[in-house]
A and B are shown apart, each in its own frame.
Chain A
């Protein structure tokens, strides 16, 4: 039996796996671009801190398991949730103690627009486009 042919087949299979992993990396890169385009490339900012919005559900709160953790006693453990759907972002109050204020108005669930100011307890977050700060 000719072992060299089996070795070549194994080598080609190896290369094929590598090519497919590279394809997946390329898809990840284009997926990022598509995500930015679909979600209007938005982010949350608090003074110098910037929170990228990279999932369709983002939990904001004081708890260590929150996606955006704000260590402030005026913020509830699970205070608010950001959602994106159909390219539109919205924020929902998770029945927090101090509630959510968007542009000074107390809300339960509201669609967000560029430049909106979200107040959670004593903390102030700005919903803005990434390009603005560059």
Chain B
């Protein structure tokens, strides 16, 4: 460990943050027995301590993102355990531990960018396999596979794979081939094709809420591929791409299914018991919560469908207050923005960070603005805060990718790139 003092203080303040939240639950929360609060506190503080003890064994060079992750996950456990009355949400607790394990997996797989980049064909194949699974098992109007004891959303697992597929190194972008008058990088065409197929699949199985997230991942990869390695880019290309996106958006609205059009143009206050039910309840909940909330477990939104996932922002606003909910969003933004404080040393890792940041930002925006009726309701989860195993595992993996960019390995032997074919003679 290179900085034991900063490690110690980080542990201390994460524990203090959770401690004050738990004290707030004890003071203001609704519970039938103090034992429920004690069990919740033991679970949260125990997970903190366990993670702080286990983390140094991975011999990472940086830990800041890990601390942010454990801070947010345990905040999430406290929030979810308090909806409708204080009681440890065991299922959510287990999914949070799975997310931490998934984060470790993401770190281990991505810390050596040359290795993971050399496996790009497996990444493409992984996306293909997931799409075949969607095709065979979810059906055309569903996004879930029901295993009986749990449900899985396979499209969630495509997100980290698409981020890895879109990431590129500078060397790879030099591997150009001349086709007619254009210098083409074959990988760029393949990524475009993969993204197009993924988006069509999402449309086919009516997981329309995920389309902006996949679009954002591809857009960040696309911009970084044409802008590499510095912000020197063709404005003409970007303007054409922007026009294409706008046209696609208009066409999508025109051909959208009736229930989507209804959501776009609905006035929720005209139909508070039908189409506008969740959003109207969510807005009332946010208003009733005010700045400081009603107290943990004292809200009424927990009775509304998807209160712990799709409108979780409103549920937190109601019980903890708008200030606390905004702090939670700030924490998520800081975690994804950590690479701005400690920038990656490789272009590939920089691409990964941009992809993760794009995916998280779009998901947060869709969830929060959807809850607040600023955009149509999409049903997208809030990373790490909403309940849901598939989302939690993939979000954990994506944060592991950011951790990898902060603690990279550059230990492989010199790789000969003498066979690189380029068409950029000056």
B13 touches A16 (CB 8 A): yes
Q: Which of A42-83 contact B (CB under 8 A)?
A: 54-57, 59, 61-67, 73, 75-79, 81, 83
| Interface size of B in residues (CB-CB distance below 8 Å) | 74
A24 touches B425 (CB 8 A): no
The distance in angstroms between the C-alpha atoms of A14 and B230, with both chains bound, is 34
Residues on A with beta carbons closer than 8 Å to the beta carbon of B298: 1
The distance in angstroms between the C-alpha atoms of A111 and B422, with both chains bound, is 21
The distance in angstroms between the C-alpha atoms of A118 and B202, with both chains bound, is 51
Residue in A closest to B62 when the chains form the complex, CB atoms: A27
Q: Which of B136-192 contact A (CB under 8 A)?
A: 169-171, 174
> 1/0 per residue B61-80: CB within 8 Å of A?
11111011001000000000
Residue in B closest to A11 when the chains form the complex, CB atoms: B20
B324 touches A30 (CB 8 A): no
Q: Which of A67-109 contact B (CB under 8 A)?
A: 67, 73, 75-79, 81, 83-88, 90, 92-97, 108-109
Q: For residue A35, give the distance in angstroms from its CB to the closest CB of chain B.
A: 6
B133 within 8 A of A: no
**Which of B341, B343, B414 interacts with A86 by CB under 8 Å?**
B414
A132 within 8 A of B: no
> 1/0 per residue B209-237: CB within 8 Å of A?
00000000000000000011110110000
> 1/0 per residue B347-383: CB within 8 Å of A?
1000000000000000000000000000000000000
B327 touches A14 (CB 8 A): yes
B426 touches A75 (CB 8 A): yes
A24 touches B62 (CB 8 A): yes
B21 touches A9 (CB 8 A): yes
B68 touches A65 (CB 8 A): no
B418 touches A27 (CB 8 A): no
B3 touches A83 (CB 8 A): no
B424 within 8 A of A: yes
Knowing A12-B16, A15-B13, A24-B341, say if A65 contacts B64 (CB, 8 Å).
no
By a beta-carbon cutoff of 8 Å, the part of chain A in contact with chain B is 1-3, 5-10, 12-17, 19-28, 30-31, 34-35, 38, 54-57, 59, 61-67, 73, 75-79, 81, 83-88, 90, 92-97, 108-109, 111
Chain A to chain B contacts (Cβ below 8 Å), 23 pairs: A5-B28, A12-B13, A17-B334, A19-B10, A21-B64, A23-B3, A23-B7, A25-B341, A26-B3, A55-B346, A56-B346, A57-B169, A64-B232, A73-B426, A81-B170, A81-B171, A81-B417, A83-B171, A83-B415, A94-B174, A95-B422, A97-B425, A109-B418
